[in-house]
Amino acid sequence: MRPLRLGILGSGKGSNFLALARAIQAGVVPAEVVCVASDQSQAGILELARGMGLRIFVCRSGSFQTKLEPEIEEELAEELSRAGAELVVLAGYMRVVKAPLLRSFGGRIINIHPSLLPAFPGLKAWEQALRAGVKETGCTVHWVNEVVDGGSTIRQLKMPVQPGDTAESLHARIQTAEHRLLPEVVRDLASGKIAWERDPRRI
C-alpha cells in the first residue's frame, strides 16, 4: 500500500511534528507529509517544515483567538485537499476545529492531547492534573469532532505523577510520551492495524 498522505496542523514549536517526520524518514511510519499548515506565521513548526523542503500554508489572520473564521478555515481545508492530504494530524494546533474542516475531513482528523482523556480536556492539561492531585496521567491520540477533545480515543500512554513534579517536569515527560505515541498511531493507521472512522483509501 502506498504511503499515507498527511496534512499537519500546528501552532507552536513543532516537536510532535518533528518526531513524526523523523519516524517517517527512518522508514518506521509508511506515510508522507504533503502539507504543514499553521495559524501562526512565525510558528517554529513552519521553520522545521521549510528546512525539510515541505509544502507550507499560513492561515490569514482573523479576529478570534480560539478559532478561525469560517472563510479562513475553508481556505485551510481547500489547501489540504489540494495537497492531497488523506489524514489531518493536529500536532500542537491551538484552534478549535469547526465545520469547514469537519465537512472536508470528518473521520480523518486526529489530535494528540497531554492527558488521559476524558480527564482534563482543554488547555494546560498537565497543570490541571497537578491541581487535581491525580497519581497518573499521560497522553491521548483521539479522533477529532465538534466537541473540544471529545472525539473517541484511539490510543493512550500512561505515566505516574511523581512526588515533587512541577508543571514543567510533568509537561516534559508527557511530551516525551507524545513523541512516541503519535508516530505509533499514524504507523498503525497507515498499515491498517487501527480502524479508521473514515479511511479515504476505502471509500
Indicate which residues carry an active-site annotation.
113
Query: How far apart are the C-alpha atoms of 103 and 148, rounded to whole Å?
Result: 16
Residue 64 burial (C-beta neighbours within 10 Å; 0-12, 13-18, 19+): exposed
| C-alpha 139: how far from chain center | 12
Which own/partner pairs from 71-80 qualify as long-range (CB within 8 Å, at least 24 positions apart)?
73/97, 73/98, 73/99, 73/100, 73/101, 74/100, 76/9, 76/37, 76/100, 76/101, 77/101, 77/103, 77/104, 77/105, 78/104, 79/35, 79/37, 80/7, 80/35, 80/37, 80/104, 80/105
